Every structure is written in structure tokens, then in C-alpha cells.
A and B are shown apart, each in its own frame.
Chain A
Amino acid sequence: MKCPDKIIEWMHDYLDGDIVPDHEKALREHLQHCPECSHHFNSLKKTVAFIQHASHLAPPSDFTKNVMAKLPKEKKRVRIGRWLKNHPFITAASLFVALTVGSLFTTWNQGQQFSVSTRENVVIQGHTVIVPKGKTVDGDIVVRNGTIKIEGKVNGNVTVIHGEKYLASAGQVTGEVEEINEVFDWVWYNIKSVVKDLFE
């Protein structure tokens, strides 16, 4: 007797785990009195068991290392980012130092251009400020990146940052005369002015 094809189909549905209950019942009944199909079914089940129990080989222990070694180089940005993440204290400290030093240098180097705090009663020639003979400047003078020549009179302090001062013999300054050419002087000057501002 030739069994219908659907019997074999049901066997596979059964093995896939999605046989409908009616078919399952019919399949069971058929297998009970058909040794040929029963043998077919058993050999299928055995086959599946063999495949499922195939022993699994593990990849070599250096597998991951080898894969990682063959990957294209990662972006530098990410590598630095990870390093920073792993060293939060150093990051914070160096950030602080960098900002402090950076801000000092930028203010020190900033404005290479010439400037003078007052224009009254002075003559400006290029980067030189001249307080002419017989003239009087009331108040402080601050000159940046330039030279000051005092031939007249200044009623106040004279400060020269990044520059030179020439006091003619006839020149007169009632306040202090200061020349700032170094970073530390600059810092000191800034601190002094901040403190002065606080008290005034």
C-alpha cells in the first residue's frame, strides 16, 4: 500500500512543532498500523537527534584578540575620550591647569595692538605717546604695546605694559611710574588692580 504524501508532510510539521492537532491525531493513528511510515518517522527523529547532539567545537582561545587586531584603527578622538573617562581626576586637574595658564597667556598676548587710556593733551606718533612740554595730563595713563615719552606733566600714575617709558628731565609725574614686561609682572599687576578695585 502506498501511503499518501501528506503523511510525510505531517511528520515534518510535527518535527517543526507546528502540526495542527487533527493532523497529529491522524498521523499517530497512521503510524500505529504502518510499519513503513513508522520506520521513516523514527529515522527522521534519530537524524534530528544526531544533528542536535553534534558536539560543539569552540573557537581558538585567541579568537577575539585576532579579530580585534584585524579591525581598522579606531578614531583617535574615541581613544582619547575613553582614556579621559578612565582618569577623571587627572582630567579635571589638567583641565584646570590648562584653563588657568591659558587664560593668563591669552590676556598677556592679547591685543598686540597699541592702546592708550587717554587722548587728552597727548600727542600720538605711531606707537609712541608723547606728553608734550608744557602740557598737563590729569589722571592716570596706561599705555599698552607702546612707548611713552613724558616731557610735560602727568597728575597721576603712568603704567607701560609691553613697552618703554622715557621721562625727560623736564617731565614730571606726580604718581607712580611702572613698566610691565613680564608675565609675572602682568599677573601681579592684574591682582593689584583687582584688589584695588575691591577696596575702592
Chain B
Amino acid sequence: MDMFVKKRIKAIQKGDQNAYAEIVELYKDKVYRLCYRMLGNRHEAEDAAQEAFIRAYVNIDTYNPTMKFSSWLYRIATNLSIDKLRKKKPDVYLDEEVRGTEGLTVYSQLPAKEASPEDTVESLELQETVQQAIEKLPEKYRSVIVLKYIEDLSLQEISEILDLPIGTVKTRIHRGREALRKHLGHL
């Protein structure tokens, strides 16, 4: 796996774009999901994820191979999402009104779960509540929480991605968890 990525990166650094398509394929889910949880809507998440990949490609020569490539990519995506959050105007996308239905397709494609309609509605509502709780977090807590629980990364990796001391990462996770608990703990 690591070898695969390293080889592709060498090829990309020589200018081979086809090798980059494989890298995008490999990481698109994770990067998209990170952006989605940071930004809270599909439209912006797609834009941010695309931009993250384009930036990574353009700056591939500055990538330092002592860092995991995924960490570097997450760093770009996180910074970009935070930038977008700061610039974000309270504009509403049409599809946001029916955000719940996005989950509907996801769920309806999972026959193994055999959820009753009530359960589905409930879990859809829950999904939305969870996302709203994440969106209420200040961005510095939001990024650590997303990296920790959505991307399932270690504290060490998070500290590398955000370029913060581990102690700070821990404190932010603790505070983020407490803040989330206020919205989700009573459910």
C-alpha cells in the first residue's frame, strides 16, 4: 500500500497525471467525508475536496515523504475547509432543505440492515442531529473531532496534520467531546 502510493507520487512528481487519478480514487472518500463533516453540505464539500486534490497536485513537489501522504492530504483539506468556513456567508443551497434524503439513499441501499421505516426516520433524524452538533462546534474543536472520530486517526497523526502539540490536540478533543455531549448526550 505504502509502496503503491510512493510509486505513484514519484510518477506524479515527474508530471504523470494518470498516476494522480489513482491517488484521487484511493483517497476521495476520506477527503470528501472530512470536508463534508467540516462544512456540513454536499455542495461545498465537493468543491473543497476537489480543490484539496488540485492543490495537492500543484504542490506535489513540496510534499515531504517523511510525512504520510494521507496526513498531508488531510492537512490541505482541513485548512481549506477552515478557510471556507471563515469565508462562509449564510447562503442556503436548495438541496440543503432536503438534507435528510441524502441519508435515505444511503440507507435504502443497505438491505442487510432491514430497518423498519420508523427506525430509518429515526436514524435519519439522528444523522442530522449529529451533523448539526458537529457544525455547532467552533472550528478548532471541529477539526480535531472530525479527524479523530470520522477519519479514525490517532492523536499522533492529528497532531502531525494540524501541526499542533499532542497536548493541545488532547485538550481540544476533550473540550470538543464535552461540547458535543451537551447536544447529543441526552438522546
Interface: A92 (CB within 8 A):
no
Binary interface encoding of chain A residues 71-85 relative to chain B, with 1 for a CB under 8 A from any of its CBs, else 0: 110110110001000
The 8 A CB mask of B60-86 against A (1 = contact, 0 = none) is: 000000000000000000000000000
Q: When A57-B36, A67-B53, A72-B58 are in contact, do A44 and B185 touch as well, CB less than 8 Å?
A: yes
Q: State in angstroms the CA–CA spacing of A40 and B186 once bound together.
A: 10
Main secondary structure of the interface of A (DSSP, over half): helix
> Is the CB–CB distance between B187 and A77 below 8 Å?
no
Q: Which of A31-76 contact B (CB under 8 A)?
A: 40, 43-44, 46-48, 50-52, 54-60, 63-64, 66-68, 70-72, 74-75
A153-196 near B? 1/0 per residue, CB < 8 Å: 00000000000000000000000000000000000000000000
A-B contact count (CB 8 A): 111
B127 and A68: CB pair below 8 A? no
The docked-state distance in angstroms from the alpha carbon of A46 to that of B107 is 21
Q: Which of B29, B37, B49, B174 contacts A54 (CB 8 A)?
A: B37
Residues in B13-37 with C-beta less than 8 Å from chain A? 14-18, 20-21, 24-25, 28-29, 32-33, 36-37
Q: Are A51 and B130 in contact (CB under 8 A)?
A: yes
Chain B residues contacting A44 (CB-CB under 8 Å) are 177-178, 181, 185
A51, B54: Cβ atoms closer than 8 Å: no
Q: B180 at interface (Cβ–Cβ under 8 A)? A: yes
Closest A residue, CB atoms, query B180: A47
* Chain B: minimal CB distance from A27 (Å): 15
Instruction: Flag whether A22 is at the interface (Cβ < 8 A).
Output: no
Assess the A71–B15 pair: CB atoms within 8 A: no
Closest CB-CB distance, B99 to chain A, in whole Å?
10
Q: Are B126 and A50 in contact (CB under 8 A)?
A: yes
Specify the chain A residue showing the minimal Cβ separation from B58.
A72
Q: Is A127 engaged at the interface, CB distance under 8 Å to the other chain? A: no
- Let me know if B29 and A59 touch, CB within 8 A: yes
Q: Do A66 and B50 touch (CB < 8 A)?
A: yes
- Asked if B155 is at the interface (CB within 8 A of a chain A CB), the reply is yes
Contacts of A56 in B (CB 8 A): 29, 33, 150
B29: A residues at CB distance < 8 A? 56, 58-59
Q: How far is the CA of A18 from the CA of B33 in the complex (A)?
A: 27
Given A43-B186, A64-B25, 4 further pairs, Cβ under 8 A: A55-B123, A59-B45, A71-B17, A71-B54
Q: List residues of A whose CB falls within 8 A of some B CB.
A: 8-9, 12, 15-16, 18, 40, 43-44, 46-48, 50-52, 54-60, 63-64, 66-68, 70-72, 74-75, 77-78, 82
